[in-house]
Amino acid sequence: MTIEPQLRLLLERFGSGRAWYHGDLEGTLQGLLVLNFSPQTGVGGGATVGLRYRMMIEKRIQPFVEGGLGIGGIDFNLSSQDDGFEFFIEAGLGARYRLTSSVALAASLHWQHISNAQTHLPNVGIDTIGFMLAIETP
């Protein structure tokens, strides 16, 4: 299970309201709290920086793609992955549904890779695919 609070900052707006690529490029800063339950219990944490491109071709439904890189640490007690310093790589694909002018519901399919980039052995890496739900403010 992962808890990921995120801050977004508008970097650039692309296209006019009629262009198919009309949307916002946002910078993201995200905290990570990772709770592992199987095969061993453990905890991890860190932070990532990234980009999100949100298409605004429709007022209420706004598809997006996002990705990020970060650093942190884990304590999972796994035989295939060394505990301690780790790198985080993330990517997601999803959509926002605007409930009101100031609140949106977002859902995405999210991939995350955790690895120490061969700085310590063992380093098989940990890959997860999950479904994320979020309440966002535009």
Domain locations along the chain: 2-136
98-116 average pLDDT score: 93
67 or 85, higher pLDDT: 67
Does residue 78 carry a pLDDT above 80? no
Record: fold of 2-136: Porin (2.40.160)
Query: Closest Cα partner for 88 from 66, 59, 65, 117?
Result: 117
Does residue 94 carry a pLDDT above 90? yes
Residue 20 DSSP symbol: T
Please give the pLDDT value at position 12.
Answer: 95
Please give the backbone phi and psi of residue 79, each rounded to the nearest 5 degrees, phi first.
Answer: -75, -20
Model confidence band, residue 15 (pLDDT cutoffs 50, 70, 90):
confident
126 or 50, higher pLDDT: 50
| Residues whose CB is less than 8 angstroms from the CB of residue 131 and which lie 6 or more positions away in sequence, other chains included | 107, 108, 109, 110
